[in-house]
Structure 1
């Protein structure tokens, strides 16, 4: 606040003419060029900024309206991931693939924006050249009164991914900040990039969900309710899941969390509840080379407590179908080798809750973002 006031007092920034500076808005290149020009006039050393905005500075005052209209309305970003997984135990084998994603973000107006994502997955395990390209995201975000609205094909990660972590076709609204309520409706999607019959069981049709979250000092609390109709593991099977979770941040580096889950799946008599305990320390940041993090988890989840789990172990595989449930642990480490190049390694040791099969999984990836 003080810095903004100093720049305003010096005449470097002027705001939007309504006594505001629009701190939550994206700045256009033309607006930034205006600030650079005024800073240069004050004698500030902004050579790098002047070089970056040379074209805008050269044309400042010439065809201004046209420049402002075109500047930075659409932004394209992307990522490429090399991924390798090796399984042992009752299921053996490995998988390796290359995944590329291109994101497109467009500003519709001051209150609404569009996001789209195209994904290509190449199977590197054999020489058949198998690959799949899909339009995986297409949604809008905006405001209607006091509500934040999201609609289209977006990503849904519910209860830290212990219930569902996949794309979702629907609409959701959110209200509040310190205490936040999110509610939505739509259809749960098939697993990304996979078309085989085994994983098609992850689908569900009409789905309703709501999450209530809040924070008290260092303690974060979340409650979730999810109703899945016609889950595709068997015809006409419904599942209602509710969760409660608490996460405590001891300091800026170490966090400990616990979650309880309870499900009610039709035509199923197995274990219907479960819990997950998570401990995390630091975390790799793509923009900061040398940053790193560690995560450890223990799972004990009945078959009714998840639809499409976030984990990279075998919880959603033929070995551990959602008719059996699973328990076990995972440990993970991540590290930023250079700016925008992050590596991750995860180890899982899981077993069936209602059977005698077990599996160990070594999962790894390197992600390049641009």
Structure 2
């Protein structure tokens, strides 16, 4: 393959769009048909010329030169769509030997056999409260297996243990806690069916397992989704009988997410519960990044007909951001919660806070080493809606990713 043709293909794979990039090569002129592609990739640092300032596009590209371009493509994988990502993975497989010689560690190859790969995590956790009898140590392990069916379809199965307490009798219980298939319809539509993770809004109402079908349309700046199926965690308050709860109600959840800028994220949802006597719910959230390290955010959720007793909200401030892949990174956050007794908080991200409570949740995250994270959580000044003090709870975790 000629170099000019190779770089033209690379611009398509990488989604490079810097149309006004300057060309640094003396032997590539604006009259050349590949001029724009060469200039774009040169500006992005994907291609380099020879010491004499030439590109020599008429020559055949070597496997070593192609591997260099693939290595640059791997760095940009988080900025391309599913179709481009699949092409990059195939190229990485093809040029794996050359990439190894270049000293490039390819995560998608290191844990992959053929069209099959696995990832996972292990966790050590300590939970407690100001009542010492509630303190306990637990551990958990999970392994996720992902198989590529074709360029547009994958199947995922995850095997997980329960949170086993140290010293408790017996072995940890093991089960398949995630089983789903995912299909891409072009660049902008994805459908996932099976037992999967689902986050409603920013996670105040629900952030747990879901059985059903989820359809997503759009990209990061603007996307919408519809989920139809059954919530598999927590319980949903009914209206028919005081105190009765209905598990696994059939539900449809409509969500709209937008990022007008890289530092602003707005989310909204409406949950239509297909069960007699169970109230519908809606909510919205806003996240702002101020400068490089300051986060401000909040979320509001409400059951549709229950008035003030059906409301829940949170607002918080944070600084820094822990990255599990970068040792030494850290972040702290404090969030105030006010959750009424009938709020649609079913299985929240912040599970130290419960209904009919208000107070502050403090969070600290620190990356001890690459892929090893230390996380701490504690409630402060927790009260019931009657303003009577509640027990304070805290939790510390060591998470290992592989």
Which range, TM-score by smaller chain? 0.7 to 0.9
Alignment pair present for 1:210 and 2:263: no
Question: Pick from 333, 337, 353: which aligns with 1:299?
Answer: 337
Partner of 1:24: helix, strand, or coil?
helix
Give 1:34 deviation, angstroms: 6.8
| Gap change, CA 1:129 and 1:184, over 3 Å in 2 | same
The separation in 1 between residues aligned to 2:127 and 2:317, in whole angstroms, is: 23
Give 1:365 deviation, angstroms: 0.5
Q: Normalising by structure 1, what TM-score? A: 0.76
Partner of 1:210: helix, strand, or coil?
strand
Partner of 1:361: 393
Partner of 1:31: 94
Question: Pick from 200, 219, 227: which aligns with 2:272?
Answer: 227
**Pairs aligned (count):** 317
Q: Is the 8 A contact 1:257 1:279 kept in 2?
A: yes
Partner of 1:332: 363
Partner of 1:307: helix, strand, or coil?
coil
| Gap change, CA 1:156 and 1:202, over 3 Å in 2 | farther
The separation in 2 between residues aligned to 1:363 and 1:202, in whole angstroms, is: 29
Partner of 2:119: 77
Question: Pick from 274, 277, 282: which aligns with 2:320?
Answer: 282
Give 1:312 deviation, angstroms: 3.2
Give 1:208 deviation, angstroms: 0.7
The separation in 1 between residues aligned to 2:154 and 2:339, in whole angstroms, is: 38
Deviations 1:248-274 (A, max 9, x none): 111221110122221136xx6871113
Question: Pick from 78, 91, 98: which aligns with 2:139?
Answer: 98
Query: Which of the pair is proportionally richer in strand?
Result: 1
Q: Is the 8 A contact 1:264 1:304 kept in 2?
A: no
Give 1:356 deviation, angstroms: 3.5
Alignment pair present for 1:348 and 2:379: yes
Alignment pair present for 1:257 and 2:300: no
Partner of 2:202: helix, strand, or coil?
helix
Name structure 1 gaps, 5 residues minimum.
38-45, 53-69, 192-199, 231-235, 316-321
Q: Is the 8 A contact 1:121 1:132 kept in 2?
A: yes
Partner of 1:312: 351
Structure with higher Rg: it is 2
| Gap change, CA 1:202 and 1:76, over 3 Å in 2 | farther
Deviations 1:125-169 (A, max 9, x none): 543236321111111222235421111111011122100111000
The separation in 1 between residues aligned to 2:265 and 2:165, in whole angstroms, is: 41
Q: Normalising by structure 2, what TM-score? A: 0.70
Deviations 1:1-37 (A, max 9, x none): 4234548957233999xxx996422524542237549
Alignment pair present for 1:160 and 2:202: yes
Q: Is the 8 A contact 1:118 1:133 kept in 2?
A: yes
The separation in 1 between residues aligned to 2:156 and 2:246, in whole angstroms, is: 25
The separation in 1 between residues aligned to 2:346 and 2:99, in whole angstroms, is: 52
Q: Is the 8 A contact 1:278 1:296 kept in 2?
A: yes
Greater shift in the superposed pair: 91-100 or 149-158 = 91-100
Q: What RMSD in Å do the two structures reach over aligned CA positions?
A: 3.2
Question: Pick from 275, 281, 294: which aligns with 1:241?
Answer: 281
The separation in 1 between residues aligned to 2:223 and 2:163, in whole angstroms, is: 39
Partner of 2:222: 179
Give 1:229 deviation, angstroms: 4.3
Partner of 1:169: 211
| Gap change, CA 1:208 and 1:291, over 3 Å in 2 | same
The separation in 2 between residues aligned to 1:79 and 1:214, in whole angstroms, is: 30
| Gap change, CA 1:365 and 1:74, over 3 Å in 2 | same
The separation in 2 between residues aligned to 1:5 and 1:228, in whole angstroms, is: 54
Partner of 1:13: 66
Name structure 2 gaps, 5 residues minimum.
1-15, 17-40, 50-54, 71-79, 107-111, 235-243
